[in-house]
Amino acid sequence: MWNHDDMDDPQTMTITADLQHAMKRDVGRRALGLTRVIVLWVLLAAVIVALVAKRVLEPVFSGLDLVGIALALLLVALIVSTVRTARKSLETALPIGSVVTVRTTADRLEMTSVLGESELHWSSLDKVSLLPTVALLSLKGSPVLTAVPLTLLDEAARAKLRH
């Protein structure tokens, strides 16, 4: 796959426990700020406000209180699940001890990791999140994210991702 003359020198690294921990932290924080998670936070706040208001207006515990508590717990579980899934996905894609290699050209990024080889054309990228330790890339029409350790991307590649 990488026999092209226009390629930059490959950048290679081994994923350390510290790097993986930092990337999982960054991905978890990003997951907390996703629109759907923010909606869950707002719903959770509304449920809590409704429960408190009900207790003030009607101090007697009722079945409605149980429904509100169950709903609040469900919302918390959905938020926690979203963050855990994001962190686990990164852990699977970039496990400790695995070697990752990235090469960039004028029109694409090529990466090898434990999951295999990827070739991402800059023009096919839809959304890019440059986090402190990892770049999250999504292709147009795909919900799948590709995680690239940021230290493997030189400033020229980062500039392409920002535009």
> What digits encode the pLDDT tens for the residues 63-114?
888 888 999 999 999 999 999 999 999 999 999 999 999 999 889 999 999 9
Query: Is the domain of 39 the same as that of 89?
Result: yes
Using DSSP, state whether 116 is helix, strand or coil.
strand
What is the reported pLDDT for 8? 65
pLDDT at 2 over 50: no
> Do the beta carbons of residue 105 and residue 7 sit within 8 Å?
yes
The one-character DSSP state at 123 is G
The model's pLDDT over 5-64, given as tens digits with 9 standing for 90+, comes to: 455 689 999 999 999 999 999 999 998 888 888 999 999 999 999 988 888 888 888 888
The model's pLDDT over 142-158, given as tens digits with 9 standing for 90+, comes to: 888 899 999 999 998 99
Domain final residue pick, 65, 93, 121: 93
Query: Is the domain of 106 the same as that of 62?
Result: no
The domain of 125 spans: 11-16+98-162
What is the reported pLDDT for 7? 52
What is the reported pLDDT for 3? 44
What is the reported pLDDT for 65? 85
Query: Is the domain of 83 the same as that of 105?
Result: no
Phi, psi for residue 30 in degrees, rounded to 5? -65, -40
The single residue listed with the structure tokens 């535009």 is 163
Domain count, the chain: 2
What is the reported pLDDT for 89? 92
pLDDT at 4 over 60: no
Phi, psi for residue 7 in degrees, rounded to 5? -85, 145
Evaluate whether residue 156 is within a structural domain: yes
pTM of the model: 0.79
Domain final residue pick, 77, 93, 109: 93
Evaluate whether residue 135 is within a structural domain: yes
